[in-house]
Amino acid sequence: MAPILALEQLSKRYPGVVALDHVDLTVDKGEVRALLGKNGAGKSTLVKILSGAVHPDSGRILIDGNPVTIAGPKAAFEQGICTVYQEMSLVPGLTVAENILLGRWPKQRLVGLSVINRKAIRPIAQAALDQLEVSINLDEQVSRLSVAQQQLIEIAKAISFNPRVLILDEPTSALAAGEMEVLHKVVRRLAEQGHAIVYVTHRLQEIPRVADTVTVLRDGRLIGTISAGEATPSRIANMMIGSDWQRTEWGESGTPGEVKLALRNVQRKGVLHDISFEVRGGEVLGFAGLLGSGRTELVRAIFGLDPIDSGEIYVKGEKVTKLSPVTMKAHGLGLTPEDRKRQGLVLVFSVQDNLTQASMHRFSVQGVLQKARGTALAQEMVKALDIKTPGLGVPTGTLSGGNQQKVVVGNWLNTLPEILLMDEPTRGIDIQAKEQIFSLVRDLARRGLAVIFISSEIEEVLDVADRVLVMNQGRITSEVHPAETDLETLLAMVMEEPAQ
């Protein structure tokens, strides 16, 4: 019997990048296929092709042995392929039932008009939830549900299309351990009902619980497919990385200075668990962990953006009694956030405005901004960071991703920080811009700053940090020194399930 889904020699190229290189893949009825690979391995491109968002350059897609053309998302639905993306697409103000049938609400004629038949929505939505064997109030507003419940609603929405193939893209990235267990049971139940499931994940500990087989991509190529029982952390790490990675040599690190930042038993229920560490001036402290490990939540808590339930935070030996961004900035902290476009920049504002919005106190006199001084600060930072821009007055959104990221960093460097928290500073930028960011980080440490560096690219953390703390499910599970470990070992460590 032919597999439900088969990919034959699927390829996709972008200028200067081979996203997929002659990939072959089959998924059978009732099979859960885990899809793994580093960022940039080709997972997202493969998912986008199957969902109809991207068209392949060559190769074939077969459903039940028959070649199909997926010209768009509607065509994917018609071929029985549904995708649940990591970023949820629910409307918070609508009910559970309304979200499950979003865009497909049944209609009825009423006094000559076509209106929504709200009574007909409920049984269709309930049937989708029944397939998952979960109990959620159809009339509850989605905004009042937990993240795990919202994820189940996304899956129910996909199931309402009665798909042959269900693609789940990082479905547990924002879920706690107990919530993951519920989702795993739902996925296994769907497989038992005959669905073919492609399960994209970074969490190796999920594989024995949810998957039958594992496929690994690297640099757009299919490296291999093995059974879930063979998927040990070390074997998967070796398949994901290969032997082509070489650590960049940055020269000798200086001797770390005084403790700039210290955390003692910091906790936030369900998010952070007994976090304690120190970082010194002149040191780059890396945090390695998968999506959902708590890295971003940690730096947000340090900067006062999110509350903590208990624990203590010290800056240069002084206990911080009132956590807030204003307080932490006054203590000499800066934060380059994970999402530069939504949290780090105002894209329609000029380069100058974005470079100086956090440092206006440096060029204001009794509340009046001294424009010439602001311009001078911006010009100095453009030169120092080699920001490629036609001028200080152009909208920041017109710059390349790498130069936008430099503006985010420059904005906080203009505050003259002593501690810089850098969350995913190289996300979405090219290789040359990454090297410039790495060089900048090392230079900041040489100048005496304490730098916390977070990246989903494990090799970046190993490359640039003096010490690395491993996080998993909101806990610091271990500490390693880059000179004493390798990438394969570190990747296996971040994938290990922490002891509770």
Instruction: For tokens 């650590």, name the residue.
Output: 247
Q: Mean of the pLDDT values across residues 430-444?
A: 80
* 315 found inside a domain: yes
Tell me which of 207, 241, 275 is where a domain ends: 241
The predicted-structure confidence for 259-293, as pLDDT tens digits, reads as follows 999 999 999 998 999 999 999 999 999 999 876 78
The answer to whether the beta carbons of residues 166 and 84 sit under 8 Å apart is yes
d(CA 426, CA 446): 20
d(CA 264, CA 261): 10
* 281 and 383 inside one domain: yes
Cβ count near 439 (within 10 Å): 13
* 156 and 210 inside one domain: yes
pLDDT value for 201: 86
The answer to whether the beta carbons of residues 64 and 5 sit under 8 Å apart is no
Which residue type, as a one-letter code, is found at position 50? L
* 371 found inside a domain: yes
* 204 and 347 inside one domain: no
Residues 6+ apart with CB under 8 A from 372: none
* 354 and 468 inside one domain: yes
* 237 and 280 inside one domain: no
Tell me which of 241, 268, 303 is where a domain ends: 241
Residues 6+ apart with CB under 8 A from 19: 12, 13, 42, 45, 220
Number of folded domains that form the chain: 2
* 251 found inside a domain: no
Helix (H) or strand (E) holding 203: none
More confident residue, 486 or 233: 486
Q: Order of strands across the sheet with 310-315?
A: 272-280, 259-268, 310-315, 318-319
Residues 6+ apart with CB under 8 A from 431: none
Query: If we measure between CA atoms, which residue out of 475, 459, 19 comes closest to residue 241?
Result: 459
Which residue type, as a one-letter code, is found at position 349? F
* 435 and 375 inside one domain: yes
3-class SS of residue 252: coil
Residue 126 predicted with pLDDT over 90: yes
Packing angle, helices 233-241 and 487-495, rounded to 10: 130
3-class SS of residue 423: strand
Q: Any alpha helices (H) in 233-385, and if so which ranges?
A: 233-241, 295-302, 325-330, 351-356, 371-385
* 228 found inside a domain: yes
d(CA 496, CA 394): 46
CA end-to-end span of the chain, whole Å? 44
pLDDT value for 465: 93
d(CA 197, CA 215): 13
Residue 38 predicted with pLDDT over 80: no
**Domain interval for residue 449:** 259-495
pLDDT value for 227: 96
Mean pLDDT of all residues in the chain? 88
- The number of helix segments (H) and strand segments (E) in the chain equals 16, 24
Residue 499 predicted with pLDDT over 90: no
* 402 and 484 inside one domain: yes
* 274 and 394 inside one domain: yes
pLDDT value for 411: 93
* 253 found inside a domain: no
Packing angle, helices 401-413 and 431-446, rounded to 10: 20
Residue 251 predicted with pLDDT over 80: no
* 270 and 343 inside one domain: yes
The predicted-structure confidence for 465-475, as pLDDT tens digits, reads as follows 999 999 988 99
* 230 and 275 inside one domain: no
CATH code for position 103: 3.40.50.300
* 252 found inside a domain: no
Q: pTM of this prediction?
A: 0.65
The predicted-structure confidence for 448-470, as pLDDT tens digits, reads as follows 999 999 987 788 898 899 999 99
Lowest-pLDDT choice from 31-35, 174-178, 262-266: 174-178
The predicted-structure confidence for 295-348, as pLDDT tens digits, reads as follows 999 999 999 999 999 999 999 999 999 899 999 999 999 999 988 888 889 999
pLDDT value for 196: 96
* 206 and 57 inside one domain: yes
Residue 226 predicted with pLDDT over 90: yes
3-class SS of residue 481: coil
Cα 160 to Cα 95, 171, 264, distances in angstroms: 16, 18, 48
pLDDT value for 168: 93
* 246 found inside a domain: no
Q: What share of the chain is helix, strand, coil (3-state, %, to 5)?
A: 35, 25, 35
Residue 381 predicted with pLDDT over 70: yes
d(CA 337, CA 328): 15
Residue 247 predicted with pLDDT over 80: no
The answer to whether the beta carbons of residues 190 and 131 sit under 8 Å apart is yes
- Name the DSSP letter for residue 168: E
Dmax (CA) of the chain = 81
Angle 360-417-297 (CA atoms, 0-180°, nearest 5)? 100
* 254 found inside a domain: no
Instruction: For tokens 């996300």, name the residue.
Output: 427
* 337 and 475 inside one domain: yes
Tell me which of 241, 274, 298 is where a domain ends: 241
